[in-house]
Structure 1
Amino acid sequence: MSPPGADDDRTLDARHARPEGTGDKAVEAAGKLTEALETLGRARGHLLSFHQLVGATDLALDDAVDLLREAGRDDLADAVATDLVGRNVIAGRWTFQLVEEFDDGYHARFAEHERAVRDALTGGRRHVFEAEMKERRRTHGRRGHEATPGDV
């Protein structure tokens, strides 16, 4: 381990270094596609939240049906139980099917393209654009601004 502040001459680690001959626009393009994939990952997280919230909603209907029956309103309980409990949220689909179709379709295709672009432009290296930004923005030699974890 290097002592704090000893990394004045350190730069990017090899895993994040720009391959020789790779231009700025290529690095920027690969970085932008990776950023888009990361945003899609956040969208997927919201889809999973939707999936879990709708599932919890469906399970809560059981309690509502029971309470309607206890209140002597079998007519309303029957209507909710037969029309809402277990109902598809989209034609023919529960939310788990939406998640699976999204994962196997759009998300998988997007990830394939992101990887193909990285392979073609940065030798498959991830986050080259961000690693270079880190190198430009950090204060060399200052604790908390080390180039790599090995410099801490």
Structure 2
Amino acid sequence: MTDQPSPEHRVPDGVDRATVEAVGRLTEGLETIERARGHLYSFHQLTGAADFQIGDAAEQLRAAGHGDLADRIERELVGRNVIEGRWTFQVVEEYDDGYWSAVRETERSVREELLDGRRHVFEAGLKEERRTHGDPRHTARPAGRGE
């Protein structure tokens, strides 16, 4: 029956709305962290690409007869740490191993403790409130996803 939410998206027995909302907000925070992590990976890749572009520019300057400027660019910029002692891959690794991992693990453990590990229970509730029940374009779940 596609007009009822899947069991994994239903509020567990005995769990109040305030708890569902609080866990939903925590999950929303995790989702924001995931987006930030994506931007961090973009920073990592863009910085790496820029380092190669700057290296190419140094080679082109050298070929154009500007060896002193090419040497300066290679010495001061190519391969330079972006933060003291770190290239971007090291920043990404520290972020992943520290903050990102801690947020993911805490969000998961809170869901386990309070919602039997169920994901997106708050959003499933929003869907139930906002969809047009009985309209085939507004089913609770895809066809074929039985209980």
The two structures share one fold, judged by TM-score above 0.5 = yes
- Unpaired segments ≥5 residues, structure 2: none
**What TM-score does the superposition give when structure 2 sets the normalisation length?**
0.94
How large is the RMSD of aligned CA atoms in angstroms?
A: 1.4
SS in 2 for 1:92: coil
Other-structure match for 1:18: 11
Other-structure match for 2:118: 125
Q: 1: distance between equivalents of 2:87 and 2:133? A: 53
| 2:38 alignment partner, one of 29, 42, 45 | 45
Q: Deviations over 1:85-110 (max 9, x none)?
A: 10000000000011110001000001
Poorly superposed stretches of 4+, deviation over 2 Å: none
| 2:97 alignment partner, one of 86, 98, 104 | 104
Give the deviation of 1:11 after TM superposition. Answer: 2.0
- Unpaired segments ≥5 residues, structure 1: none
Give the deviation of 1:143 after TM superposition. Answer: 2.4
| 1:84 alignment partner, one of 77, 86, 95 | 77
Query: May I ask how many residue pairs the two structures share in their alignment?
Result: 145
The alignment status of 1:63 with 2:62, answered yes or no, reads no
**What TM-score does the superposition give when structure 1 sets the normalisation length?**
0.91
Give identity over the alignment, percent: 56
Higher mean C-alpha displacement, 140-149 vs 15-24 = 140-149
Q: Deviations over 1:59-93 (max 9, x none)?
A: 10121011111221100000001111100000000
